[in-house]
Chain A
Amino acid sequence: MFANLELINNFKKFDKLTLRTMTYANKILRINLETQEIREEPLDFEIVQKYLGGRGLGVKILYDELQPKIDPLSSANKIAVMTGPMTGTISPTSSRWCMVFKSPLTKNTLNDTHCGGSLGIQLKKAGFDGIIIEGKSPNPCYIHIQDSKVEILDASDLWGKDTYETQQKLKEKHERHSVASIGPAGENLVKFACILNDARYAGRGGIGAVWGSKNLKAIAVKGSNRIVPANEYAFKKVTRKFLNILKGHPITGTGLGLYGTPILTTAVNKSGVLPVKNFQEGIFDNVRAIAGETLRELLVKQVPCQGCPIGCGRSLKFEDNTTHLEYESLWALGPNCNISDLKIIFEASEKCNRYGLDTISTGNAIAWYMECAERGLVSDAPKFGDGDGLLKLIDDIATQTNSGQLLAQGVKNAAEKIGQGSSDFACHVKGLEMPAYDPRGIKGMALSYATSNTGATHLKAYTVIQEILSTPHYVDPLAEEGKAELVKEMQDVYATLDSAEWCKFTSMAVFSTLKCEVDIYAQLLTTATGFFIDSAEFKKIGERIYNLERLFNYREGLSRVDDELPKRFLTEKLPAGPAKGQVVDNSALLTQFYRLRGWEDDGSPSDRKLEELGIKPLHTSAKLQVALDLRDMDEAIKIAKSAVAGGVDWLECGTPLVKSVGMDIVRKLRELFPHKTIVCDLKTMDTGFLESEMAHLAGADIVCILGIAPDTTIVDAVGAGKKFGIKIHADLIGVSNPIERAIELEKLGVDYIGLHIGIDTQLRSGFDKVPYPTLKKLKESIKIPVAVAGGLNAETIPKAVATGADILIVGGAITRSANPEQATRRLKEKIREASLQNAKNT
């Protein structure tokens, strides 16, 4: 909580603040490389308050602007180059910026790749919070920005040059500019090409290929404006406190600066989870040769990101080779390919840096190919440990020649092409290659990789901190208990850190329990931006971003099956070490995680959760509502549990049930299913306000009233809906002129219309009495969603969906089934198939 009275009082002294003095530049630049159009757009502060900046704002922009299913390497893809409210401020580690884009490696997901180079600072100083890059330039080009001057310039003479040369040439041409560029790998559309800015890389997901596909070689920026926080006095004061926390912690104050990230190598190896030979083993025998302690002796100089007190970046020299080497690169090009020769690793790292290749994906692709050779699946691959073979393959990948053409597609695609069971040991999630921690021996990371919206990254929830490094305290890496909560908490907090643009290393010093305390971050954001952000709001922003990313994936067709690890991790036991015998079984943890997130069992965010976060649901598929028209509470609960397990969307407390056991059934279902949408069918005919309020107080999301009721009752119910946030469903049962009345009800403000053939009518005149022509007319006459009830079952549902029903209310087909869970699953499948068919037809 933001509870420092002194700081709050200081706000009062600065009451002349306006939005322009916050750490935002208040403008986004939109550049279309195809039409050469350049325009400035004002920052939408309503959106900024919800998504903050950086990753969050980038995801929001792309979610709104990208058409589903576009090819990430087509001109339809866009790149959001984003800064955050911390970028360029005096807050430690705030030189960061990021790019959000649809990833060519995963095809269906977004990726956000972050960088500690100075481009973000210069962009903010030039007066822009971000750039949206669209279209494809007809010729190689680069973007030049100097304060308000923005131009697209020819880059023909830079095309083909590596990242170092490009940076040097552009810095000679544009003095004191920050330059970000791709190398030949990006030009050649290698799907895991990356971008260099200063000595730091925006590495993951294939952003380099997206630049290459747009003929964009580089961006050079210089700005001269000052970045001023909303409350400069308070911001400086909290910054000093933050700095003291970082300096006083053994990791951020001492360890990372002394040894850099390679210091992890021995700790991860000792824990038996340092992947060796494409994740076949978890212990690297010759670890001493590549250990952080050994590399410490090779230090040329520290190369920190601008203004960073931690200083983990470093330039290292071994014999004739100097390179910037991080833990992940060291592992990917070393142990994962069974190589311990530093000369080879340094040369390989330097090649990747110059070509502009993501080292994690490169090392994974080559290790996978080496295993293919070991198994006799291919004849032209080097063997594990073949350093020269590794170097040659890096050249081939970057230039897309020989077998490099195959590997340049990423391990998922390459394995699909080679076949012969090679997908079983292609180490990725959703197409993104896996980082340097074997998930079999770190259960939190297994869940973290699986549920990451962007594929196998360690940067969405880095539970290695707790599970391997025992910071802030020990957590058993082999236990599942508490991991779903930990992963969710970290995913939400990291999403906000990525949006403010802080380095996640700071969290190692900031978190003091597994609850991931964020008070200091919240104070910094509040004093910097002028928005009041307490710890709860900080985490809520992260949760919103995580859900919107998930919704993007759902829109692209991803579901629970995509939250799974490759077969190797599920069936092959780790052969030795402290995690010997371990495999991954995420099934129970996934279900627990989804519940915790308020997601459906298929891994999609529930409407209720989206509404809570202020995100509009997709409504791509009709909803299945089970009507619990029963008498007994226990029986109703039992069926509700089965229906939820089968994937039902909404639970209805039927009128007979409410009359039999009262509103307790609503309270009980709310307690059991906190994130499910609960419908309370009161068939209200009078006292619209009172009964809607009662339903709301018991925990219902939707209350059913009778459409035949007087308008005054309808108006009162709608009023209660507005006051309490409960939705009003008007049931047309018994209405003689349904179309006319539905139009009136829509005007009166109800949220749903129900076309309902009652049970008594069904019993006398047979089931499936849904009047489809009326349904069709209803859909043409009103805009609000229409629910249908009347003996629906698996056979009749496709027709109801095809006719336009938005909500399918099913009673007996579930409640009287011998296996309600299976029946629900079957109905859901039918709805999904019918919805897909509808989408195709339209």
Chain B
Amino acid sequence: MQLSIEEVKRIARLARLAVTDAEADAMRAQLASIFGLIEKMQAVDTSSIEPMAHAQEVAQRLRADQVTESDRHELLQRGAPAVEAGLYLVPKVIE
């Protein structure tokens, strides 16, 4: 499968990854060989098979609806690039 540079850039945009035309072109060839490998899946008829999402078929545990976590925002925000007054700072999004 051959992707166009435009398709690579569209996927990169969906993934929020900046790519230059040169990078997109280089990735195109590598992605083509990887998708060549992945295409081997299509040779097998799987129409009667249930998808398997997980190794262990276990149900999610439920717990009582009670507060179990303490407020640790100061600690957890220490590794963030820009914080002020307990808030994450980002560029302005509303004019």
A interacts with B: no
Interface residues of B (CB under 8 A from A): none
A contact residues vs B (CB 8 Å cutoff): none
